[in-house]
Amino acid sequence: MSDGIKRYKNSGGSVRFKVNLQIEGIRIRKQDFHTKKEATAYLQRMRLLILTGSYQDYLESEKEKKKVQSDVSLKEYGTEVFEKKKCRDIRESTLSRYIFGMKQNVYPLLGKKKLRTITSRDFERLKEDMLSKGYKRGSINHPLSALIYVLKRAKSEGLLENIPQNTVSFVQSKKNVFLTDDELKRLFRAIDLNAVGKREWFRVYVYLQLNTFARVGELLALNWSDIDFQKGTIAINKQYDPILKKVTETKNSKTHNSFPLSEEMMSMLRRYKIKCGFCPYVFPNGHYFSEGSKSKNKNNRNIERMRRSGVAAMLKKFADMADIERKRLSSHVLRKTGGDRLLRSGFTIHQVAHALRIDAKTVLWTYSTLDNKAFEEKLSAFRLLNNDNVVASNDNVEMLREGEN
Number of H helices, E strands in the chain: 18, 8
- Where does the pLDDT of residue 401 fall: very low under 50, low under 70, confident under 90, or very high at 90 and above? very low
Average pLDDT of span 322-350: 91
Architecture of domain 181-364: Orthogonal Bundle (1.10)
* Range with the poorest average pLDDT among 6-15, 87-96, 228-237, 350-359: 87-96
Mean pLDDT of the chain: 83
**pLDDT tens across 182-221, in order?**
999 999 999 999 998 889 999 999 999 999 999 999 999 9
Q: What tens digit of pLDDT does each residue of 351-376 get?
A: 999 999 998 888 887 776 555 665 66
295 pLDDT higher than 70: no
Q: Is the pLDDT of residue 52 over 70?
A: yes
- The ranges assigned to domains in the chain are 5-69, 74-156, 181-364
Mean pLDDT of 49-78: 81
Q: What is the mean pLDDT of residues 284-305?
A: 68
Q: Report whether pLDDT(229) > 90.
A: yes
Average pLDDT (107-124) is 90
The domain covering 74-156 belongs, at the CATH homologous superfamily level, to Tyrosine recombinase, N-terminal domain (1.10.150.130)
pLDDT at 377 over 70: no
Would the pLDDT of 271 be above 80? yes
Q: What is the pLDDT of residues 127-150, one digit of tens each?
A: 999 989 888 777 888 899 999 999
| pLDDT score recorded for residue 387 | 44
